[in-house]
Amino acid sequence: MPKFVIERDMPAVGKLSASDLRSASQKSCGVLGTLGSKIQWIQSYVTDDRIYCVYLAADEGLVRRHAEMSGFPADRISQVRSIIEPATAE
């Protein structure tokens, strides 16, 4: 499945408590369960005012549908075309 990076603009999200983040994760997982096996959340990176999420999904439409159903913004969705890392330099 294609990999996507989703940018979610969420002011002060970095100040949320562990309990708040757990609740948001539970909500996201509940929606994912409804959408089925063609979309999978890999992980997210929380910064001060934005969350960057990595998903596998059959298409961008499923990523958008998850955002709509969960109530989380999806300000930018980008399909990953390549992955590079330090070993790429060798």
Distance of CA 79 to the CA centre of its chain: 12
Q: pTM for the full model?
A: 0.92
Residue among 42, 15, 16, 18 nearest 28 (CA): 42
In the predicted model, what is the mean pLDDT of the chain?
Answer: 97
Cβ(19)–Cβ(32) below 8 Å: no
Map tokens 């002011």 to a residue. 11
CB under 8 A, 24+ apart: contacts of 23-30 = 24/72, 27/70, 27/71, 28/66, 28/70, 28/72
pLDDT digits (tens, 9 = 90+) for 46-70: 999 999 999 999 999 999 999 999 9
Averaged pLDDT, 72-90: 96
Q: Quick one: tokens of 79?
A: 């399909």
Q: How many CB atoms sit inside 10 A of residue 69's CB?
A: 15
CATH code that applies to domain 3-83: 3.30.70.3090
